[in-house]
Amino acid sequence: MAEALTLNGGTGGDVATSGRRDTPPATRHITTLAVENMHCGGCIRSVERALAGLTDVVSARANLSQRRVSIETRQPAATEEPFVAALASVGFKATPLVDERPDAAKADDADLLRRLGVAGFAAANIMLMSVAVWSGQAQDMPASLITLFHWLSAMIAIPAVAYAGRPFFVSAKGALAAGRLNMDVPISLGVLLATGMSLYQTARGLDHVYFDAAVTLLFFLLIGRALDQRMRTRATAAAQNLLGARVAAATVLNADGTAERIATRAIEPGMRILVAAGERIPVDAHLRVGESEIDESLISGESRPRHVRGDDRLYAGTINLSGAIEVEAVAREDGSLIAEIARMMASAEQARGRYVRIADRAAELYAPAVHILGLATFLTWLARGNGWEPALEAAIAVLIITCPCALALAVPVTQVVAAGRLFRKGIIVKAADGLERLAAVDTVVLDKTGTLTLGEPRLSAADKIPDDHLVLAASLAVASRHPYARAIVRAAERRGLRVAPAANVAESAGAGLTAAVGGREVRLGSARHCGLDAGEGDNATLWLRDGDRAPLAFPLADPLRPDAPAVIAALKAQGLAVEILSGDRAGPVAEAALAVGVETWRAAVRPDEKIARIEALKSQGRHPLMVGDGLNDAPALAAGHASLSPSTAADISQTTADAIFQGEPLSPVLETLAVARATQRRSIENFAIAIGYNIVFVPLAMLGLVTPLIAAIAMSASSIAVTANALRVALVRTRETPS
Summarize pLDDT for 252-306 with one digit per residue, the tens. 988 888 888 888 888 889 999 999 877 888 888 999 888 887 877 555 444 456 7
Please report the pLDDT score of residue 104 as a whole number.
52
Of 510 and 92, the one with more pLDDT: 92
pLDDT-above-70 percentage for the chain: 76
Four-point Cα dihedral 345, 351, 353, 356, nearest 10 = 110
pLDDT at position 118 is 92
Mean pLDDT (whole number) for 40-62: 81
606/67 Cα distance (integer angstroms):
46
33 bridge partner residues: 69, 96
Residue 58 backbone dihedrals phi, psi, to 5 degrees: -85, -45
User: Residue range 553-562: average pLDDT?
Assistant: 86
Residues 521, 522, 525, 530, CA torsion sign: positive
Higher pLDDT, 462 or 361: 462
Asked if the model's pLDDT at residue 191 lies above 50, the reply is yes
Say whether 684 sits in a helix, a strand or coil: helix
Cβ of 152: how many Cβ atoms within 10 Å?
A: 14
d(CA 170, CA 164): 11
> Which residues are registered as beta bridge partners of 546?
522
Does 513 or 350 have the greater pLDDT score? 513
DSSP classification of residue 98? -
Give the pLDDT score at 159.
Answer: 93
Give the chain's mean pLDDT.
77
**Mean pLDDT value of segment 628-648:** 78
Mean per-residue pLDDT, 561-583: 92
Q: List the domain boundaries for the chain.
A: 2-99, 104-237+345-415+681-731, 247-335, 427-455+561-662, 458-557
**CATH T-level topology, domain 247-335:** 2.70.150
SS3 call for 297: helix
Interval 641-662 mean pLDDT: 74
First to last CA, the chain: 44
* pLDDT computed for residue 600 by the predictor: 92
Confidence of residue 621 (pLDDT cuts 50, 70, 90): very high
Secondary structure (3-state) at 557: strand
The CATH number assigned to the domain with range 2-99 reads 3.30.70.100
Q: Which residue has the higher pLDDT, 430 or 627?
A: 627
> Is the per-residue pLDDT at 738 higher than 80?
no
Domain 458-557 has CATH 3.40.1110.10: yes
**d(Cα 448, Cα 337) in Å, to the nearest integer?**
27
Q: Report pLDDT for 100.
A: 44
Quickly state the pLDDT bin for 625 (edges 50, 70, 90). Answer: very high
Helix (H, G, I), strand (E, B) or coil at 456: coil
Average pLDDT of the residues in 430-445: 84
CA distances from 228 to 212, 344, 641 (A): 24, 23, 32
pLDDT of residue 649: 59
Dist. CA 611–CA 282, nearest whole Å? 42
Q: What is the pLDDT of residue 134?
A: 55
- 413 pLDDT more than 60: yes
* pLDDT at residue 302, as a whole number: 46
Distances (CA, A) of 727 to 63, 144, 356, 428, 684: 19, 50, 17, 19, 14
Residue 409: its pLDDT value, please? 67
Name the least confident of 412-416, 683-687, 690-694.
412-416
Alpha-carbon distances, residue 457 vs 47, 296, 479, 738 (angstroms): 51, 21, 17, 24
Q: Which residues are catalytic?
A: 447
pLDDT at 512: 84
Between 620 and 81, residue with greater pLDDT: 620
Confidence of residue 19 (pLDDT cuts 50, 70, 90): very low
CB 637 within 8 A of CB 532: no
Q: Is the pTM of this model over 0.75?
A: no
Give backbone dihedrals phi and psi of 250, rounded to 5 degrees, phi first.
-145, 160
Q: Which helix (H) or strand (E) holds 300?
A: helix 297-300
CB-based burial label for 461 (10 Å; 0-12, 13-18, 19+)? exposed
Which pLDDT does position 13 carry in this prediction? Answer: 32
CATH of domain 427-455+561-662: 3.40.50.1000
Q: What pLDDT, on a 0 to 100 scale, did the predictor assign at position 568?
A: 94
Instruction: List all residues 6 or more positions away from 284 whose beta carbon is below 8 Å from its beta carbon.
Output: 313, 314, 315, 316, 329, 330, 331, 335, 336, 337
More confident residue, 354 or 668: 668
If one counts every other C-beta atom within 10 angstroms of the C-beta of residue 89, the result is 12
Digit-coded pLDDT (tens) for 127-165: 777 765 555 555 556 667 777 878 888 899 899 999 998
pLDDT at 199 over 80: yes
Domains 427-455+561-662 and 458-557 share a fold: no
